[in-house]
Copies of this chain bind each other. A is one copy, B any other.
Amino acid sequence: MLVSPKGKRYFRILDPDEILNTNDGQLQMQKVMENGFGSRLATHLGKTYTVLKPTLYDLIKSVKRRTQIIYPKDIGYIIIKLGIGPGSRVVESGSGSGALTTALAWFVGDRGKVYSFERREEFANLCRANLERNGLASRVEIINRDIDLGFIQKEVDALFLDVRTPWDYLEHIPEALLPGGPVGFLLPTVNQVSMLLEALEEGPFSSVEVLEILVRRYKPVPERLRPEDRMVAHTGYLIFARLSPKSVEIPLEDDGVHEGDDSEPF
């Protein structure tokens, strides 16, 4: 990641032969390679660019979008609830602009795989372009197909649906997901949450949870510390469940921790 004096960010997979054309002049990628992360290099017009190793947050923020994306606050929680990590095989739908796809690809590593279903060719292409730009394309298979035909994969570790009517596709989950595996959903309205909960109750799912993640930011001024005046109040509701093994309910750990009356804020 190269950051301009004004904060504009350029993402590149290192190719020593490339010459980067910036708003402030040219920069040889050969020099970037030699100087490494944290170095500060001058363009041929004498403007100083900073070379940084991008974090996943940087990558998600750089995703070119033509759809509503899933944001880091929600992605972080999704990743942990779905148990995504190095080596995971995960199905998601739809790809959209590829923000969650980027995160899934980041975490599954070179030995994992992300299967990303997207009905609309336009978005499948957009997602692919974003992944190529951030160097994670090899970990993702983008499938330009409607999921009403079901998923192709078997025994994936986790599954995430960011579609308008997820209840229409629940029937296809058992054939794709490892028995007992975690599944997640994102929905913007309470009416959709209600409909999904009703469908999940018909099984074979258990351990259903509904929640929202809110981020409250502060102005980082030590002597006048206060929350920002405005905040994002809603992106979507997150719903999680576990596929029941052989249609049997998974007993919840009887610790009441989701009830809000306990000492542990899980």
Instruction: Name A's B-contacting residues (CB within 8 A).
Output: 3-9, 37-40, 50-58, 60-61, 71-73, 75-87, 103, 106-110, 157-158, 178-182, 188-191, 193-195, 197-198, 201, 208-235, 237, 239, 242-243, 245-246, 248, 250-255, 257-261, 265-266
Contacts and interface: CB of A to CB of B under 8 A. Distances in A.
23 contacts: A4-B251, A8-B253, A40-B248, A53-B83, A53-B180, A55-B82, A57-B266, A76-B78, A79-B79, A86-B86, A188-B224, A188-B226, A194-B225, A197-B221, A210-B219, A210-B220, A211-B216, A216-B233, A217-B233, A218-B237, A228-B234, A230-B233, A231-B260
A254 to B, nearest CB: 5
Pairs of residues from A and B, 8 with the lowest C-beta to C-beta distance, nearest first: A38-B179, A76-B76, A55-B83, A232-B265, A86-B109, A231-B233, A230-B260, A7-B251
A57 B211 CA distance: 15
A73 B83 contact: no
Instruction: Determine chain A's interface SS by DSSP, over half rule.
Output: mixed
A83 B57 contact: yes
A233 B210 contact: no
Contacts of A231: 230-231, 233, 260
A75 to B, nearest CB: 6
B220 A227 contact: no
Nearest to A219: B210
